[in-house]
Structure 1
Amino acid sequence: MAWNYGDVYEAVADKTPPGTPALIHAGPGGTEGRTIMWDEYMVRTNRLARAFLDAGLEYGDKVAHYMRNCPAYMETLTACFKSRMVHVNVNYRYRDDELHYIFDNSDSKAVVYSSEFREHVAALRDRLPKVNLWIEVPPEEDFDAPVADFAVNYENVVSQGDGSKLGIERSGKDMFFIYTGGTTGMPKGVMWEHEAMWAATGHGASLLNPDADPPATTEEHGDRVAALPLRAKLIPACPMMHGTAMLSAMNCHTQGGCIVTTPEHSLDADALWATIDRYKVNTIAIVGDAFAKPMLRCLDENPGKYDISSMFGMLSSGVMWSPEVKQGLLKHNQNMILMDSFGASEAVGFGRSDTTAAGTTEVAKFTIGEECKVFTEDYQEVEPGSGVPGFIARSGAIPVGYYKDEEKTAKTFPVINGVRYSIPGDWCTVEKDGTLTLLGRGSVCINSGGEKIYPEEVEETLKTHPAVEDVLVVGVPDEKWGQAVTGVVKLHAGVNFNEQELRDWVKERLAPYKAPKRVLPADIALRAANGKADYKGASNFAKSTLGIAS
């Protein structure tokens, strides 16, 4: 059976009753917005898929998605699946040269962009001869607003013409790309085949029935979805241009669910809870404490303001999520499952850590799947309970590699003992019971006096101090140590900064060599809006503050 998301979504739609919502774009502050039903969703995406083909795009051509979270993002993705085109995610925070790199490196033939980014697109158009189709998504409040003279109006495309099924044979080998954030060099396009992602994310398994055997056909999968007592209604709170939100949205639609997007351009906890209340959202995708802390603070400061009884799942991926924040959220709704997923664009589904009101999990502790192993630098498998650090590797359902980068593909996807693995660079130790304790990404590992120190372990320790709201730990050049462990902290409002107290806090809880030599109060943003740590910015801030040349 060839598993392709275009076929899966059609099979789900065929068994979905009329009037079932597929996409909702909420109004500002959680007010009433726009709803697209599943049958309408299929028609609109069929029209967009035909527009790609009519413009001369062929199998495997790339379509750049240059949008914030909105219905058009998911519709464009689905239209790519249906027409056998390749999704390319574009970071809407990029400036012109960065944007040009993504469009050019990906060989994009079409660009679907929001009207707010028209100026950037216009500035780049002459430098992108490979692009032969520009589609502009008009503002939500005015679908008839004029678009650029070189573009076509997105809403005109999806609301007119033949909306029937395309009737083309698709393959499980069809691809979509997830461009990485470029924290270690330029962004790289991770090439995923549909069938590999389908397997990596559980063969369409539902949260309500996670242990079911994989379906044999798309029709059987559609029947299972039709029999579900409850469908997911998901807010991807983080940007869909990143893997966490996009893959959560894809999985939601494999289960016949509804994706709810919000118009706010940055995290607004009040708006999120108001949207959850209005639309009875039951699942949300976030990125660790950067989202969870403001959301918890909002609930604590507004008791009883929002009805969140519909919520049964919160999913986080990409960064650590503090146990005390999880416990705080569970006090507001004891029926939730808080799912801490561990993975990367290069390896989905390494492992998961679940927290409920009935049970807690230590920070950074994860249970891994059968296809995951931990190796030392000389490719020896780590013995559980040995305390020896190693890197995490996954075999089986993994990407083909990086687009147009054979050297980095060979490094990240090596063959070990005859088995091909994906190694994104995360390090850990293996406990006696087989669970993992994450140490952090090897690319930000600090070498101080010959000792390897993983920033996340020190960060999580500092974050347990009542004065600390957020922190990043970096290594700065040091004549004695090679690299000196340095903390850059954001304190809670109204709290006095005490560097020695914070250093001592770590020394009392970790080996002394892991304690920061210096702790600096931050007057910069430690994270991007998607919650990902900005280690480069923190390092530059620390070096500048300490008078160290970059």
Structure 2
Amino acid sequence: MTLSTLIDRRAIDDPTGPAVADSAQSLTNADLLGRVRAAAGHLADLGIGAGDVVALKLTNRVEFVVLLFAAWRLGATVTPINPALTDAESARQLDDSSARLLVVEAGAHSIGDIATLSVADLRMEDGRGAAQPVEDPSALALLIYTSGTTGVPKGVMLDHANLDAMTSMGRDALRAGPDDRCLLILPLFHVNGIVVSVLTPLLVGASVVIADRFNPQTFFEILEKERPTFFSAVPTIYSMLAALPDDVRPDTSSVRFAVCGAAPASAELLARFEDRFGFPLVEGYGLSEATCGSTINPVDGPRKTGTVGRAFPGQELRILGADGNEVVTGEAGEVEVRGDNVMRGYLGRPEETAAVISSDGWLRTGDVGRLDDDGYLTLVGRSKEMIIRGGENIYPKEIEDVLASDPAVLEAAVIGVPDEKWGEVVVAFVQARPGATVDIDALHARCSERLSGYKRPAVIRLLDMLPKSAVGKLDKRSLRDGLVRA
């Protein structure tokens, strides 16, 4: 199976069934096929064919989904661009990906000399001349650019075989079927939004509704109106929802579960959210280089709070020590994954690709974790974020979880800063819950109760808002840079 023909099969099987909707329009399966064929014909008329790259600098909207399948129908590749990027940042991605066409929002200007199409001008009817779908599992489907928080953004090459593998794994892990309805709230320029919230539901015959920009004040109104059975979000979103006034008690009876990913969540947040809103947060773990997901807590089965679950069906997981050998159960080391979902490599970067993918297919994640006897993975931090204080290894997540357990704290971020005596010391940053007051002395006391002396923050700073990357991850580089400038 390839995704280039998925829309055709849905239209044949259930032409009048719901496919994808946003606040402006709702398409049946037959409607979606017509729009995809029309868009494919439009792209072909603009000279786009197999092997070409189409860049989409669009907000979340139905046309993004249409253009995905239109490009794949022609054998072309899509590279999503964060709409918030500057022209200079966008130009770097366009140049690195060798994009031949840029699709932008109505009224947006072109960037450089690349051919540009306004989404308002996208052909919506008349699919005459649209080529038959290209079915090539080895064809490059997506170029997802890493966030750049640890260096210059790199193009992650995901082919159709990767997407086919990941969506099949997601179907099995999420127990998704045609009766499901997914609410998309994550950005479509990120692989999580594309794979978990669009491709997987469409693969299983389910429908997708695309929400407008996330707003905690209106989110549950949308949920009650659209009646989704699942959605996927990041810990920041769940923290904001959990911080809503106590009198906010929405009808969540349609929701089977919600996925929590992209960044580690505290066990306290997961338990508090489920207790309040009545449906489980299923925490998972993955990265763009593995086409989104590698582990997840079972939807139907024992969930272990504080872990990110077990390997997806069809993937392998192992933990390696500094000597390159597997560690014993319960010991921390670098997480490696293997499966048909592992990327083809980084575009134009063979040496960096070889540094993270072994000859036998294991992907080095750069994350540090440990496995228990049942195969559940607990993350303890990024290998590059590990703090070494006086020769002792410290993983930030353990400290962040302690800080986040304070009822007044919305989120916490921990970094290491240079110190003449200790080499590095721990510095923590916290953000208060809306309407709450953070007591720094009480946080220090909490850390003294729950953490060994060398793990305790030397300084805890209160910020109005913790900096985030475009996909909602804590931007610790900005925190370090801020300390340097200060």
- With normalisation by structure 1, the TM-score equals 0.82
Q: Which amino acid aligns with 2:20?
A: L
SS at match of 1:506: helix
Is 1:345 aligned with 2:297?
Answer: no
For structure 1, which segment, 238-247 or 366-375, has the greater mean C-alpha deviation from structure 2 after superposition? 366-375
SS at match of 2:272: helix
Alignment of 1:403-442 (within 5 A): 403-415=347-359, 419-442=360-383
Q: Do 2:285 and 2:308's aligned partners in 1 also have CA atoms closer than 8 Å? A: no
| Distance (Å, rounded) in 1 between the aligned partners of 2:363 and 2:356 | 6
Q: Which amino acid aligns with 1:170?
A: E
| Distance (Å, rounded) in 1 between the aligned partners of 2:221 and 2:208 | 16
| Residue equivalent to 2:188 | 240
SS at match of 1:125: coil
Q: Do 2:7 and 2:29's aligned partners in 1 also have CA atoms closer than 8 Å? A: no
SS at match of 1:270: coil
Is 1:377 aligned with 2:377?
Answer: no
Tell me the CA shift for residue 254 of structure 1: 0.8
Is 1:125 aligned with 2:140?
Answer: no
Is 1:260 aligned with 2:206?
Answer: no
Tell me the CA shift for residue 240 of structure 1: 1.1
| Residue equivalent to 2:137 | 172
| Residue equivalent to 2:337 | 394
Tell me the CA shift for residue 519 of structure 1: 0.6
Q: Do 2:389 and 2:425's aligned partners in 1 also have CA atoms closer than 8 Å? A: yes
Q: Do 1:41 and 1:75's aligned partners in 2 also have CA atoms closer than 8 Å? A: yes
Tell me the CA shift for residue 206 of structure 1: 5.2
| Residue equivalent to 2:416 | 475
For structure 1, which segment, 66-75 or 435-444, has the greater mean C-alpha deviation from structure 2 after superposition? 435-444
Q: Which amino acid aligns with 2:6?
A: V
| Residue equivalent to 1:106 | 97
Aligned residues: 480
Q: Classify 1:297/1:354 alpha carbon distance in 2 versus 1 (closer, same or farther; 3 Å).
A: farther
Residue deviations 1:396-449 (CA, integer Å, cap 9, x gap): 21111000111211111123xxx2211121111222333222111222222222
Residue deviations 1:324-380 (CA, integer Å, cap 9, x gap): 33333334554x342211110012432112478x96522135223551111113210
| Distance (Å, rounded) in 2 between the aligned partners of 1:49 and 1:203 | 28
Tell me the CA shift for residue 243 of structure 1: 1.5
| Residue equivalent to 2:160 | 194
Q: Do 1:276 and 1:282's aligned partners in 2 also have CA atoms closer than 8 Å? A: no
| Distance (Å, rounded) in 2 between the aligned partners of 1:171 and 1:466 | 52
Q: Classify 1:478/1:56 alpha carbon distance in 2 versus 1 (closer, same or farther; 3 Å).
A: same
SS at match of 2:327: coil
> Percent same amino acid at aligned positions?
24
| Residue equivalent to 2:459 | 518
Q: Which amino acid aligns with 2:13?
A: K
Residue deviations 1:155-196 (CA, integer Å, cap 9, x gap): xx1x23225873244111111221111111111111112112
Tell me the CA shift for residue 256 of structure 1: 2.1
Alignment of 1:478-517 (within 5 A): 478-517=419-458
Q: Classify 1:203/1:522 alpha carbon distance in 2 versus 1 (closer, same or farther; 3 Å).
A: closer
Tell me the CA shift for residue 524 of structure 1: 4.1
Tell me the CA shift for residue 528 of structure 1: 3.8
Q: Do 2:19 and 2:29's aligned partners in 1 also have CA atoms closer than 8 Å? A: yes
SS at match of 2:255: coil
Residue deviations 1:35-92 (CA, integer Å, cap 9, x gap): 1111111111111112222222221111111011111111111112211111101111
Q: Do 1:238 and 1:285's aligned partners in 2 also have CA atoms closer than 8 Å? A: yes
Unmatched segments (≥5 aa) in structure 1: 27-32, 139-152, 211-227
SS at match of 2:149: coil
| Residue equivalent to 1:461 | 402
| Distance (Å, rounded) in 2 between the aligned partners of 1:164 and 1:272 | 42
Q: Pairwise CA RMSD of aligned residues?
A: 2.3
Q: Do 2:283 and 2:307's aligned partners in 1 also have CA atoms closer than 8 Å? A: no
Q: Classify 1:394/1:529 alpha carbon distance in 2 versus 1 (closer, same or farther; 3 Å).
A: closer
| Distance (Å, rounded) in 2 between the aligned partners of 1:86 and 1:537 | 32
SS at match of 1:349: coil
Tell me the CA shift for residue 480 of structure 1: 1.2
Q: Classify 1:458/1:363 alpha carbon distance in 2 versus 1 (closer, same or farther; 3 Å).
A: same
| Residue equivalent to 2:28 | 37
| Distance (Å, rounded) in 1 between the aligned partners of 2:13 and 2:396 | 48
Tell me the CA shift for residue 298 of structure 1: 3.5
Q: Which amino acid aligns with 1:190?
A: V
User: Which of these residues, 373, 393, 413, is aligned with residue 452 of structure 1?
Assistant: 393
Q: Which amino acid aligns with 1:189?
A: G
SS at match of 1:202: helix
User: Which of these residues, 220, 226, 235, is aligned with residue 273 of structure 1?
Assistant: 220
For structure 1, which segment, 99-108 or 321-330, has the greater mean C-alpha deviation from structure 2 after superposition? 321-330
Tell me the CA shift for residue 270 of structure 1: 3.0
SS at match of 1:374: strand
Q: Do 2:10 and 2:29's aligned partners in 1 also have CA atoms closer than 8 Å? A: no
For structure 1, which segment, 397-406 or 499-508, has the greater mean C-alpha deviation from structure 2 after superposition? 499-508
- With normalisation by structure 2, the TM-score equals 0.92
Tell me the CA shift for residue 95 of structure 1: 1.0
Q: Which amino acid aligns with 1:162?
A: G
Q: Which amino acid aligns with 1:247?
A: V
Unmatched segments (≥5 aa) in structure 2: none
| Residue equivalent to 2:65 | 74
| Residue equivalent to 2:3 | 5
Tell me the CA shift for residue 490 of structure 1: 0.8
Q: Do 2:412 and 2:428's aligned partners in 1 also have CA atoms closer than 8 Å? A: yes
| Residue equivalent to 2:251 | 307
Q: Classify 1:252/1:241 alpha carbon distance in 2 versus 1 (closer, same or farther; 3 Å).
A: same
| Residue equivalent to 1:162 | 127
Q: Classify 1:82/1:343 alpha carbon distance in 2 versus 1 (closer, same or farther; 3 Å).
A: same
| Distance (Å, rounded) in 1 between the aligned partners of 2:326 and 2:336 | 10
SS at match of 1:235: strand
SS at match of 1:58: coil
Residue deviations 1:93-152 (CA, integer Å, cap 9, x gap): 111211110111011011111125x14x3xx223xxxx33x22123xxxxxxxxxxxxxx
